[in-house]
A and B are shown apart, each in its own frame.
Chain A
Amino acid sequence: MTEPRHIRNFSIVAHIDHGKSTLADRLIQMTGTVSDRDMKEQLLDAMDIERERGITIKANTVRLEYKARDGETYVLNLIDTPGHVDFAYEVSRSMRAVEGSLLVVDASQGVEAQTLANVYQAIDADHEIVPVLNKVDLPAAEPARVREQIEDVIGIDASEAVEISAKTGVGVPEVLEAIVTRLPAPAGDRDAPLKAMLVDSYYDAYLGVVVLTRVMDGVVKKGDRIRMMKTGGLYQIDRLGVFRPAMVDAKDLGPGEIGFLTASIKQVRDTAVGDTITHEKRQCDKALPGFKPSVPVVFCGLFPVDSAEFEDLRDAIEKLQLNDASFSAEMETSAALGFGFRCGFLGLLHLEVIRDRLEREYNIDLITTAPSVIYQVHLRDGEMIELHNPADMPDPATVERIEEPRIKATILVPDEYLGDVLKLCQDRRGVQLDLTYAGSRAMVVYDLPLNEVVFDFYDRLKSVTRGYASFDYQMIGYQEDQLVKMSILVNDEPVDALSTMVHRARAEARGRAMCEKLKQLIPQHMFKIPIQAAIGGRIIARETISALRKDVTAKCYGGDVTRKKKLLEKQKAGKKKMRQFGKVDIPQEAFISALKMDG
């Protein structure tokens, strides 16, 4: 157990890609926590998907031991956090477990949308903030300008910001000193009853559920019987220790310490993040305030391409949920796609990550249906239903009004692209709330329907600004609008998985675009296939895929049957990636691609 005055706890926060994980690498290395031989880039990004995409998805904790210039040895607990907006929840939760934040800002990029969002969260959490200007090794780095920007835009003192290169290690020793001298030591009473925060939990194939915890008061030891104050669960601690970053057993954990424990907990669901852990016998009197739960905001259907794989999909989802409690899944049946799951995610990247993992780790080909948000449908009889799936839309005659979720979006963009960004937001039914300048960059704040954002807004934003804009959002509540359900009929039959909610004024354009897209996506068949968009019984757009009239190999290659066979095999493999609906084969990617808007 370490004395609190020799402990410093902090999170590393930044906009995506500003170098959090690389800074964590250097801190780990310079404190000798991991030998040079075992070191690799972004050491903490251990998941395949994290390494492939070069981003952090899951927050990670490491305990470092640092001999400071004052001659004393300190325990530093760092939490590396993800930068992407979808995982903002991970960041806010991590911040609750520590007293300070290193705010990393890429000195060649400057302040971005998530820089701002993170600062506000850190201030909310009463954090001491140490600004760190990273990537000063880059020729494009302008630390002086970025310092000014931090003061102007964020309004915090940047005179003592540390200039570093996380890549080369320059300046990192100063970061270590700043952690010790500028961040507060944790408070806490070791003689008080145990009060520890359940920060996170995950499932480990060998250990079962592992709980990440921060002790506020008291001491916890192996063998202790503990109580979860919110869920009421009682457990006996099997194992307890710290992350270096591998799990290392410890005798006990005292106030200010961060570590893990296992206690024969069966499912991640049996734990509630933000819960307070105390002793069974000697309980603390007041629980910690807890976290606001994370709520899925984007929903889509996941169906196996091969309907025989439904049970495999169910298993895979259950296993993955053990590790990621932030995505939800409920069984769903679709006339078009059969059995599957309606899943909820924190955002589109989260959706992609989960889908990727299901496909790769469990080897299931999936059809993903159009993402949707939760609509609040108010019926004439006074009832309100939450609509997760446009296919479930009740008869419009019974509906009084529909409300949709709206967000406050903050976009930072260089001046020259401002016009394009305003147009994009306007096209997506946005209402401008604010427009200010910070040097040559504009900061625009828009009130936008979430529905218009979840799908391809971020891609469009990146493309119209050539990647120079950054974006962050928060939910702000529900608002009524003229929303209707648009159905798509393929060969005169409605395909429920292609239904979407659209704004009445934009329905026709949307319907036309979808029919045109589907015409490209669905291969020709032996018969002609009408594709129609409809609102209620009214057809608002129509396209026709003409019948296949010619598909035959003309020549004969002197008895070379193999060549023909290969062609046929290729075609058959292509057909496997399709789902039959009525008499029509629809390729799996059509369900998402049909919605992508090019303009």
Chain B
Amino acid sequence: MGAEPIEGGFGLYVHWPFCAAKCPYCDFNSHVRAAVDQRRWTRALLAEMSWHAARTPGRRLDSIFFGGGTPSLMDPATVAAVIDAASGHWNLADAAEITLEANPTSVEAGRFAGYARAGVNRLSLGVQALNDPDLNALGRLHSATEARAAFDMARTIFPRISFDLIYARQGQSLAAWEAELDAALGMAADHLSLYQLTIEAGTRFGELHARGRLRGLPDDDLAADMYALTQQRCAAAGLAGYEVSNHARPGAEGRHNLVYWRYGEYVGIGPGAHGRYVRDGQRLASATALHPETWLAATETRGEGLSADDPIPPAEQAEEYLMMALRLAEGASLARHRRLGGAPLSALGDLQAEGLLSRDADRIAVTDRGRPVLNAVLRALLA
């Protein structure tokens, strides 16, 4: 079978919806369960994967991503089964990137070697903060020491590692973040995801915030300063921001997430997973049931747990492409935008004049000034 590369790449996303505890800021599709029947879940994941595989035959698979929730609660055997099945359905590229999100507790670190044996070659660690009081405030179950230990161990096991930090936390000063960021850069990972804390409706923090009970959050000005500082420091350390919140040494970018941002194609399996792929010339948007047991029951009876599987109208594809691609430093291609069905962008000139967007022949990208206000740029561009 000839492997067919896809524009923007082709990836598989696997959602593991379980966590040991729910963090107060988190609005991801994550649920706490006393026990999970991993064999049953493995069967269901494999069933849903083959359902999609039948609709996307003959492709080269560039990446697999285990996200959550907390995928480091999966048995290595479960992970192995998923990877094996995927390489059976598609042509796994030689340099395929296989990432797993892991929480850095000691228990989980014990499974790292097993994941590597299963085929995982990149670990993304949810470190979140480098001091205990803040980890505590974020409701995390690990300590800073544990996180560092997990990181050190992961380095000996995986060829590629990244870790996540959440900043712009309660009571955090610019100087404190600067010190913490320097420490993080000093750990010499080649990839960092640095997210500003977002207060989401429907979370514990969201509720507290609505009642005016979440104190010490930075105002917009401080948050903007923190963001600017982050960009400078990372760039100076050789980890330029290649996406709004992601930084990497050249060549070390997360290839799976690049599939999303380059508006490539991906199959999503597990509860609350999203997919985007072309079938019979139509680009489809799929989503699955959010609730774990609902998804499981549906998948066991029907072979898939879909809640949506709809063609995306061309104009919307073009819109989605810009929304994703402009997150990247490399930006978007006007020709691709047009090919997908996009109308001419009338605000382009104004945004360029205002110094928010730059254009180099076919490519447009947000400038350093435009990136922190990307939503406003998109509003103007897609109005």
Task: Give every chain A residue within 8 A of B324 (Cβ-Cβ).
Answer: 561
**Who on chain A is nearest to B261 by CB?**
A556
Task: Give every chain B residue within 8 A of A546 (Cβ-Cβ).
Answer: 221
> Which of B273, B276, B285, B374 makes the CB contact (< 8 A) with A551?
B374
- Return B271 CB to nearest CB of chain A, in Å: 11
**Who on chain A is nearest to B224 by CB?**
A549
Tell me if A554 and B323 are in contact (CB < 8 A). no
Task: Report A542-563 CB contacts with B as 1/0, cut-off 8 Å.
Answer: 0000101111111111111110
Tell me if B274 and A571 are in contact (CB < 8 A). no
State which residues 38-95 of A face B: CB under 8 Å: none
> Which of A549, A557, A565, A572 makes the CB contact (< 8 A) with B372?
A549
Q: Which of B143-151, B154-162, B375-383 contacts A (4 or more CB under 8 A)?
A: B375-383
- Given A546-B221, A559-B260, A559-B268: A554 touches B196 (CB 8 Å cut-off): yes
Tell me if B28 and A557 are in contact (CB < 8 A). yes
State which residues 52-100 of B face A: CB under 8 Å: 65, 67
| B interface bracket (residues with beta carbon within 8 Å of A) | 35 or more
**Who on chain B is nearest to A552 by CB?**
B374
Tell me if A549 and B373 are in contact (CB < 8 A). yes
A559-B378 Cα distance, complex, nearest whole Å: 18
Verify if B116 is at the interface (C-beta below 8 Å from A): no
- Return B42 CB to nearest CB of chain A, in Å: 20
Task: Give every chain B residue within 8 A of A554 (Cβ-Cβ).
Answer: 195-196, 198, 244-245
Tell me if B276 and A559 are in contact (CB < 8 A). yes
A575-B380 Cα distance, complex, nearest whole Å: 10
- Return A137 CB to nearest CB of chain B, in Å: 43
A572-B324 Cα distance, complex, nearest whole Å: 17
Verify if B220 is at the interface (C-beta below 8 Å from A): yes
- Return B177 CB to nearest CB of chain A, in Å: 14
Tell me if A568 and B323 are in contact (CB < 8 A). yes
A199-B379 Cα distance, complex, nearest whole Å: 55
Task: Give every chain B residue within 8 A of A526 (Cβ-Cβ).
Answer: 354, 356, 373, 376
Verify if A182 is at the interface (C-beta below 8 Å from B): no
Tell me if B276 and A548 are in contact (CB < 8 A). no
Verify if A506 is at the interface (C-beta below 8 Å from B): no
* A–B Cβ pairs within 8 angstroms, 7 of them: A548-B220, A550-B223, A552-B373, A553-B374, A554-B196, A558-B268, A568-B378
Task: Give every chain B residue within 8 A of A562 (Cβ-Cβ).
Answer: 274, 285, 287
- Given A550-B220, A550-B223: A561 touches B375 (CB 8 Å cut-off): no
- Given A526-B356, A565-B320, A572-B379: A558 touches B13 (CB 8 Å cut-off): yes
**Who on chain B is nearest to A546 by CB?**
B221
Verify if B257 is at the interface (C-beta below 8 Å from A): yes
A586-B333 Cα distance, complex, nearest whole Å: 33
Q: Assuming A550-B227, A558-B260, A561-B285, what are 18 further A-B pairs, CB within 8 angstroms?
A: A548-B373, A549-B223, A550-B223, A550-B224, A551-B374, A553-B244, A554-B244, A557-B274, A558-B65, A558-B274, A559-B259, A561-B276, A565-B320, A567-B375, A568-B323, A568-B375, A568-B382, A575-B383
A562-B260 Cα distance, complex, nearest whole Å: 12
- Given A526-B354, A549-B220, A555-B198: A568 touches B379 (CB 8 Å cut-off): yes
Task: Give every chain A residue within 8 A of B354 (Cβ-Cβ).
Answer: 526
Verify if B292 is at the interface (C-beta below 8 Å from A): no
Task: Give every chain A residue within 8 A of B273 (Cβ-Cβ).
Answer: 558-559
The total of chain A residues at the interface (CB under 8 A) is 24
Task: Report B348-383 CB contacts with A as 1/0, cut-off 8 Å.
Answer: 000000101000000000000001111110110011
Tell me if A550 and B372 are in contact (CB < 8 A). yes
User: Which B residues have a C-beta under 8 Å from some C-beta of A?
Assistant: 13, 15, 28, 65, 67, 195-196, 198, 220-221, 223-224, 227, 244-245, 257, 259-260, 266, 268, 273-276, 285, 287, 316, 319-320, 323-324, 327, 354, 356, 371-376, 378-379, 382-383
Verify if A564 is at the interface (C-beta below 8 Å from B): yes
A567-B198 Cα distance, complex, nearest whole Å: 14
A427-B106 Cα distance, complex, nearest whole Å: 70
Task: Give every chain B residue within 8 A of A571 (Cβ-Cβ).
Answer: 375, 379
A554-B15 Cα distance, complex, nearest whole Å: 20
A568-B375 Cα distance, complex, nearest whole Å: 8
- Return A241 CB to nearest CB of chain B, in Å: 56
Tell me if B221 and A549 are in contact (CB < 8 A). yes
**Who on chain B is nearest to A525 by CB?**
B376
State which residues 547-599 of A face B: CB under 8 Å: 548-562, 564-565, 567-568, 571-572, 575
- Return B181 CB to nearest CB of chain A, in Å: 15
Tell me if B375 and A551 are in contact (CB < 8 A). yes
Task: Give every chain A residue within 8 A of B221 (Cβ-Cβ).
Answer: 546, 549
**Who on chain A is nearest to B67 by CB?**
A558
Tell me if B356 and A559 are in contact (CB < 8 A). no
Task: Give every chain A residue within 8 A of B268 (Cβ-Cβ).
Answer: 558-559
Tell me if A560 and B198 are in contact (CB < 8 A). no
A553-B261 Cα distance, complex, nearest whole Å: 13
- Given A559-B268, A564-B323, A565-B320: A552 touches B13 (CB 8 Å cut-off): no
A526-B244 Cα distance, complex, nearest whole Å: 18
A552-B224 Cα distance, complex, nearest whole Å: 10
- Return A545 CB to nearest CB of chain B, in Å: 12
**Who on chain B is nearest to A576 by CB?**
B383
Task: Give every chain B residue within 8 A of A556 (Cβ-Cβ).
Answer: 245, 257, 260, 327
Task: Report A87-116 CB contacts with B as 1/0, cut-off 8 Å.
Answer: 000000000000000000000000000000
Tell me if A553 and B375 are in contact (CB < 8 A). yes
- Return B272 CB to nearest CB of chain A, in Å: 8
Tell me if A572 and B266 are in contact (CB < 8 A). no
Choose among A558, A567, A575 the residue with the greatest number of B CB atoms under 10 Å from its CB.
A558
Task: Give every chain A residue within 8 A of B65 (Cβ-Cβ).
Answer: 558
- Return B51 CB to nearest CB of chain A, in Å: 18
- Return A335 CB to nearest CB of chain B, in Å: 21
- Given A526-B354, A549-B373: A559 touches B13 (CB 8 Å cut-off): yes
Task: Give every chain A residue within 8 A of B259 (Cβ-Cβ).
Answer: 559
- Return A129 CB to nearest CB of chain B, in Å: 56
State which residues 228-254 of A face B: CB under 8 Å: none
A350-B191 Cα distance, complex, nearest whole Å: 64
Task: Give every chain A residue within 8 A of B227 (Cβ-Cβ).
Answer: 550
Choose among B223, B378, B382 the residue with the greatest number of A CB atoms under 10 Å from its CB.
B378
- Return A333 CB to nearest CB of chain B, in Å: 25
A548-B327 Cα distance, complex, nearest whole Å: 18
- Return B274 CB to nearest CB of chain A, in Å: 4
A106-B260 Cα distance, complex, nearest whole Å: 69
Tell me if B276 and A550 are in contact (CB < 8 A). no
- Given A552-B373, A552-B375: A559 touches B28 (CB 8 Å cut-off): no
